Structure 1
């Protein structure tokens, strides 16, 4: 897939959505920004023909409505503050490490969501 340094293609987005849906067996809700691939007519047709996908489009410029902006803010403060990266691989390793820390801190993720004024429609499943 496209990964860091490049954007996913519409087919990679389609495949990612399909792969995410299969093990979950539950509907997906997408909150799209206005990245060109998110507006691609082929991806829109795919989304529109699958009733297990609900897609919401953010306004043209709305970082305050995008929970991902909160995650980037956490990364900037924790992973990039006072760090001189030796090369792109070093940057990637640090970002992945800090993303993993955020992933296992639902309170941080919930805080990023709460900052937008949005809420989850269903309660987060508690890990055991």
Structure 2
């Protein structure tokens, strides 16, 4: 959320169109009023047939803006990923995936308490 500096995320075993659709439902629930614009890359799940009826139903509330292919430099979320990697991945050895997930959850909780820093990184 670029206005409030809040991060909305989901933790799943894998990401597919069903998970993305679930995330879109979560976004609308989190922001019940107003227009929502999401900036996305061109991952297949973002264009899946499964989500098209949902997008048609909520087209007055939700707009997906797709970046040109191979342009991560234009994606605002990349600043957050860089921050996450430098905070919890670089020069750290984790003995399990569970430890990495825990570190990511703690990072998200920590940065959600620092909205201006989140905005500055986007």
TM-score bracket for the superposition, by shorter chain length: 0.7 to 0.9
Aligned to 1:12: 19
Match status 1:47 vs 2:74: no
Structure 2, unmatched stretches of 5+, are 1-9
RMSD: 2.0
Aligned to 1:37: 45
**Displacement of 1:53:** 0.8
The structure showing larger relative contact order (alpha-carbon pairs under 8 Å, at least 6 residues apart) is 2
Taking structure 1 as the reference length, what is the TM-score of the superposition?
A: 0.74
Q: State the aligned residue count.
A: 111
Equivalent residue for 2:78, pick from 59, 69, 77: 69
**Displacement of 1:34:** 1.1
* CA offsets 1:3-28 (integer angstroms, 9 cap, x no match): 44521x32332233223323532232
SS state at 2:20 partner:
helix
Question: Could you list the runs of 4 or more consecutive aligned residues of structure 1 that deviate by over 3 angstroms after TM superposition?
Answer: 2-5
Structure having the higher Rg: 1
Relative to structure 1, is the Cα distance of residues 5 and 70 closer, same or farther in structure 2, using a 3 angstrom cutoff? farther
After TM superposition, the structure 1 = structure 2 runs for residues 1-128 of structure 1, keeping only pairs within 5 Å, are: 3-7=11-15, 9-26=16-33, 27-50=35-58, 51-113=60-122
